[in-house]
Amino acid sequence: MRDDIPPANVRRLDAAEFGTVSYGTVYPLITRLHRLGLVANAMQPSPNGPPRKVYRLTDTGHDRLNVWREQWTQFASVVNETLAVRPLNPDFRSPHHSARAHEPKCGLLVLSDRNN
């Protein structure tokens, strides 16, 4: 993983349109990750001014990142399946309405157990 200083990470999040991300959010997060042994820091010479602190994932950090990626993939899959809109079944009859005029005109959102 590339060694990025927090301002570069903040700019990347801002460019991805995650909303306003402040340095007051990023620095405490990096401090926590450092305390957990997931990132290491080092001083690096800067062409413009004093040395800068750079961060990189540790081996433990890479392992945890892989676990988080797998969890995210599974979570996103469940959300995507849950939000999938199915075509309206023309034989569908609402138990609350006898006339088809009152049935939904759009697709039907089907919430189902992943194993079904």
Look at the block and give the residue holding tokens 């433990």.
60
Instruction: Domains for the chain: give ranges and CATH numbers.
Output: 6-109 (1.10.10.10)
Residues 65, 82, 105: CA angle, nearest 5 degrees:
150
Look at the block and give the residue holding tokens 């401090």.
31
Terminal CA-CA length for the chain: 39
For residue range 33-79, list pLDDT tens digits in order. 999 999 999 998 988 889 988 889 999 999 999 999 999 999 999 99
Please state whether the predicted TM-score (pTM) of the whole model is above 0.75. Answer: no
